[in-house]
């Protein structure tokens, strides 16, 4: 049996500078279409974050290199390693001349790191065609919480990304000529960004916590059961101190409470040396990680109202503009779903242990898209260890994780098939 493979054209994308570029095609593939067998759809992506060896990589980031049982390379864990592990699992049944216990469908994109441009439209278009027979959807684009204990992920945070622009004019000023007689855009912007959180990380935007789902006793018990050595986690993160002192508090603030991060300032002088310049226009960039049941449109209004109020208090003659440039909702699954129970049994078979039931503080838009449009069970089944360094220098996946992960996918096929016997 040979797979059917199609390349779906997604058209082109216009960049902010007016340039138009073609969007990489999405791969839609299927293997098997036997009635009576469940159909499992795997999502993955092949695009990666930028990387150069000059950034601090010990090896060429685009040449897979093994060192002490670790496979280093950009995309090794995010997400090419898991994609290949899924292919390995399918290939194993063919190599053993055994019948594949499930029908397989695969969707692989090349724009995940850029927000999965045009993917939602494709899923809507293919809902009653390619996805019509899908029973279960599997995503493996996350990491475990530890180095040796596997995990299942049942939730991710959303993301609202904002820019706040303060403009005096479209040219910079000399600080000796104009310093002391202007409302300086940078001073306004620093005050605006400084008003967003307090020193404990608490978001100061009025109403921002109003729609956060209440903490239940059942959920609280999940955090206590998770295997996390705080000292090891702190040391591996190379930070002196976290904002919270207990495992439960740290996990809840990573997963089930919103957070606000300031990412940078465009238009500011940031090169080595001295330059006595007053920027005429600056753009601050920050984002809020959203949790159930926060809504992007509500958050957008809350942020705009807060920044407009803070700016009005400064009596500045500058112009301020706030924009939400990205709005992605959080996702959460039912851990009692049959697919999650099948995955737990597969993990027990391969690793001999129960998985940590965890959430992910980052955002994977496709999970919510699949859940809302296709309305089928979505499972996150990660393979990588907590120290894999996705998006960072020296990204890797352990050889052990890669091999055992391939076995895990094969065991998962068998467990899913048993659900339908």
Classified as helix, coil or strand, 223 is helix
Residues 389/396, Cβ–Cβ less than 8 Å: yes
Residues 402/71, Cβ–Cβ less than 8 Å: yes
Q: Which residue in the list 30, 78, 112, 395 is annotated as catalytic?
A: 112
Residues 6+ apart with CB under 8 A from 133: 33, 39, 103, 105
Residues 164/191, Cβ–Cβ less than 8 Å: no
Q: Which residue has the tokens 């820019």?
A: 163
Burial class (CB in 10 A: 0-12, 13-18, 19+), 21: exposed
Q: Which residue in the list 47, 60, 113, 404 is annotated as catalytic?
A: 47
Burial class (CB in 10 A: 0-12, 13-18, 19+), 212: middle
Distance CA 419, CA 69 (A): 36
Distance CA 310, CA 173 (A): 25
> In whole angstroms, how far apart are CA 97 and each of 88, 91, 100, 169, 313?
14, 10, 9, 71, 73
Distance CA 419, CA 421 (A): 6
Q: Tell me the two tokens of residue 214.
A: 């209440």
Nearest to residue 42, comparing CAs of 420, 417, 421, 412?
412
The question of whether 47 is a catalytic residue gets the answer: yes
Catalytic residue set? 47, 112
């Amino acid at each position: 049996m040979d797979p059917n493979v199609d390349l779906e054209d997604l058209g082109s994308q216009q960049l902010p500078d007016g340039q138009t570029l073609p969007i990489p095609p999405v791969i839609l593939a299927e293997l098997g279409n036997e009635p009576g067998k469940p159909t499992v759809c795997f999502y993955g992506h092949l695009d990666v974050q930028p990387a150069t060896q000059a950034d601090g990589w010990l090896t060429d980031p685009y040449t897979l290199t093994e060192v002490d049982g670790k496979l280093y390379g950009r995309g090794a864990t995010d997400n090419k390693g898991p994609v290949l592990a899924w292919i390995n699992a399918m290939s194993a049944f063919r190599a053993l001349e055994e019948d594949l216990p499930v029908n397989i469908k695969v969707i692989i994109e090349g724009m995940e790191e850029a927000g999965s441009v045009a993917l939602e439209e494709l899923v809507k278009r293919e809902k009653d065609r390619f996805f019509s027979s899908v029973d279960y959807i599997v995503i493996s684009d996350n990491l475990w919480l530890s180095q040796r204990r596997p995990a299942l992920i049942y939730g991710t945070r959303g993301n609202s990304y904002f820019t706040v622009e303060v403009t005096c004019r479209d040219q910079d000023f000399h600080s000796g000529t104009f310093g002391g007689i202007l409302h300086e855009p940078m001073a306004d912007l620093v005050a605006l960004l400084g008003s967003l959180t307090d020193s404990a990380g608490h978001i100061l935007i009025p109403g921002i916590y109003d729609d956060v789902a209440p903490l239940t006793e059942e959920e609280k018990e999940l955090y206590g059961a998770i295997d996390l050595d705080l000292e090891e986690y702190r040391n591996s993160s190379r930070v002196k101190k976290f904002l919270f002192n207990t495992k439960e508090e740290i996990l809840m603030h990573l997963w089930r409470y919103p957070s606000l991060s300031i990412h940078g300032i465009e238009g500011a002088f940031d090169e080595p040396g001295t330059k006595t310049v007053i920027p005429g226009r600056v753009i601050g960039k920050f984002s809020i990680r959203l949790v159930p049941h926060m809504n992007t449109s509500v958050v957008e209004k809350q942020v705009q109202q807060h920044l407009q109020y803070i700016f009005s208090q400064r009596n500045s003659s500058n112009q301020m503009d706030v924009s939400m440039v990205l709005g992605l909702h959080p996702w959460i699954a039912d851990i009692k779903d049959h697919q999650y129970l099948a995955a737990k049994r597969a993990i027990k078979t391969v690793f001999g242990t129960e998985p940590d039931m965890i959430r992910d503080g980052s955002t994977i838009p496709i999970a919510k898209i699949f859940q809302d449009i296709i309305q089928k069970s979505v499972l996150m089944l990660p393979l990588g260890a907590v120290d894999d360094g996705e998006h960072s220098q020296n990204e890797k996946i352990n050889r052990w994780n890669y091999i055992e992960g391939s076995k895990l996918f094969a065991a998962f096929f068998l467990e899913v098939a048993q659900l339908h016997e």
